[in-house]
Amino acid sequence: MRKVMMTMMVLLLAVTIATAQRGQGKRGDNLAALKLTTEQQAQIKAIKEEGRAQMKAMRAENPEQRPSREAMKEMREASQAKVEAVLTTEQREQLANMKAERKAAWKAVDKEAMKAELKQHTETKVKPVISAARAQFDQFISAEDKAALDRLRPVFANKPKGKNKGKARMGRGKEGKPSEADRAAQKAVVETWKTNHAAEIAELKALTKKYAEDLKRIQDRMAPQRQQWGEEKRAITEKYLPEGAQKARGGKQGARKGKEPKQGKRARKGEGKRTEKGDWPKGAAFLLMKG
């Protein structure tokens, strides 16, 4: 079904853009240009370690639910205030100027053109390969299970989004982000959908588990292709990023050259958990596509 296919394609596009934006934000905290003293470096390192420990503790309190944006924002701001307290007046002014320059540079990026080029890459390079792989995968599926998937497709095509992505902007907070009330309301919609379709969710889980080995073979075979897509999308993204942002991204990539990408490590860590957890088990989107 086209809607399921588009969900997979949009995920690749969204992750690439979001990664670029998050990387830009992290560089806003880069203090390397401030000529910190050895003592300042040690103090700031301790502050950041304390912040990471607090974030880890917050997540451990409720493993099943991600901390609210407000709580995470408050923690980041508190940590940033401690860092800035370590700086001299001159360093704080320099840091503020750097942040303002980076913000202006990011606003000048032609995001619509970047999204359009990333989308074109998905449509012309990614989508045909995934479609062909799904068509080949049909040979492993029994006629009975094909009928079951035909019945399940419209159910999961209408699955509500986990995040509020509607057109309405009322009640939204800073920069158009959904408010806490919006997120709570959307979560309630999702939970209701899960309750109403518990039988279909269980059936999808069972089918995904049944074909888990076949799905894994397909995923493993496509791993080099996915890595190439990632590199191509990063190259597209970097064409639009400010010059300083490109250098920072290049440095990080160079430091990891020859090492396994972090995403790959995370993919294996808890892989079994993701296969069974939630209403969208690993490989389900591929299985729901029409062969």
Mean pLDDT throughout 206-220?
A: 92
Residue-level pLDDT at 25 = 42
Contact, 289 vs 4, CB < 8 A?
A: yes
Distance CA 46, CA 119 (A): 42
End-to-end CA distance of the chain: 9
* Confidence at residue 30, expressed as pLDDT on a 0 to 100 scale: 61
Domain ranges of the chain: 2-31+87-162+177-288
Q: Are 153 and 290 in contact (CB under 8 A)?
A: yes
Q: Which amino acid is at 267?
A: A
Helices 111-121 and 212-240 pack at an angle, to 10 degrees, of 150
**What is the per-residue pLDDT for 245?**
59
Q: What is the pLDDT averaged over residues 133-160? A: 93
Please give the single-letter amino acid code of residue 240: Y
The one-character DSSP state at 30 is -
Both tokens assigned to 204: 């999808």
Long-range pairs of 224-231 with CB within 8 A, sequence gap ≥ 24? 225/129, 227/261, 229/12, 229/121, 229/125, 229/126, 230/16
pLDDT (0 to 100) of residue 177: 67
pLDDT of residue 71: 84
Q: Which two tokens stand for residue 205?
A: 């889980």
Q: pLDDT exceeding 90 applies to what percent of the chain?
A: 41
Per-residue pLDDT for 203 more than 80? yes
Task: Please compute the mean of the pLDDT values over residues 2-24 and round it to a whole number.
Answer: 47
pLDDT of the residue at 260: 43
Is the Cβ–Cβ distance between 12 and 229 less than 8 Å? yes
Average of per-residue pLDDT values in the chain:
77
60 φ/ψ angles, rounded to the nearest 5 degrees: -70, -25
Rounded to an integer, what distance in angstroms lies between the CA atom of residue 136 and that of residue 223? 16
Res 72 pLDDT > 70: yes
280 band by pLDDT with thresholds 50, 70 and 90:
low
